[in-house]
Amino acid sequence: MGALSMVGRPIVRKYAGPVATDAIDLANVASVEVTSEQALYPVDHLFDGLAGQGGSCWVASAAGMQAVTLHFHEPIDVGTVVVESEERWDTRVQHIDVTAMQGSGPETQPVHEGKSCSFDYAPYRASFHRATWAVAARGVTQLRIRVTPTPLSLRATLTSVIVRG
């Protein structure tokens, strides 16, 4: 399979920390498409290497369900996907779905749809959550992370996305 056409925009790592040695450097192999982002909390923060509690974050500019889609320049093998989220302000639940896809355009087909994960945030409870999806898919061309905050009047937010081969 040859190079795929560029969809989305390049990932900008302006204030980058080190990428984990076992992780795929997404800024070099993918472009990103996002349904909305705040100027101070762009989607690029998900891939800047500043993962973990207190890391930088992406915050949607619009309320309700949001999607972050990685479009790989060449098909890649995906072993696991790690998603981290920290909530410092609101009581909420965030439902997160991860889907790996093959193909492009109307020929895109899901090859892995992970079980939805829920992160529950409330006062005096954990404010940081991490979930890992075992994808084990070859030739992935797109990876979509869907985030649905509850209540829907809130904005989606994530701290990092880490993909391992």
* CA separation for the pair 138, 129 (Å, rounded): 27
Collect all residues with Cβ–Cβ distance below 8 Å to 126 and sequence separation of at least 6.
Answer: none
> What spatial distance separates the first Cα and last Cα of the chain, rounded to whole Å?
18
Which range, 8-12, 21-25, 92-96, is most confident? 92-96
Query: Which domains, ranges and CATH numbers included, belong to the chain?
Result: 25-164 (2.60.120.260)
Residue 104 confidence (pLDDT) = 84
Residue 30 confidence (pLDDT) = 96
Beta bridge partners of 148: 95
The sign one gets for the Cα dihedral 52, 55, 56, 62 is: positive
* CA separation for the pair 86, 32 (Å, rounded): 21
Total length of the chain: 165
Residue 131 confidence (pLDDT) = 97
Residue 29 confidence (pLDDT) = 95
- Residue 3: name the closest of 99, 111, 141, 102 by CA: 141
**pLDDT, mean of residues 22-28:** 91
The share of the chain scoring above pLDDT 70, in percent, equals: 92
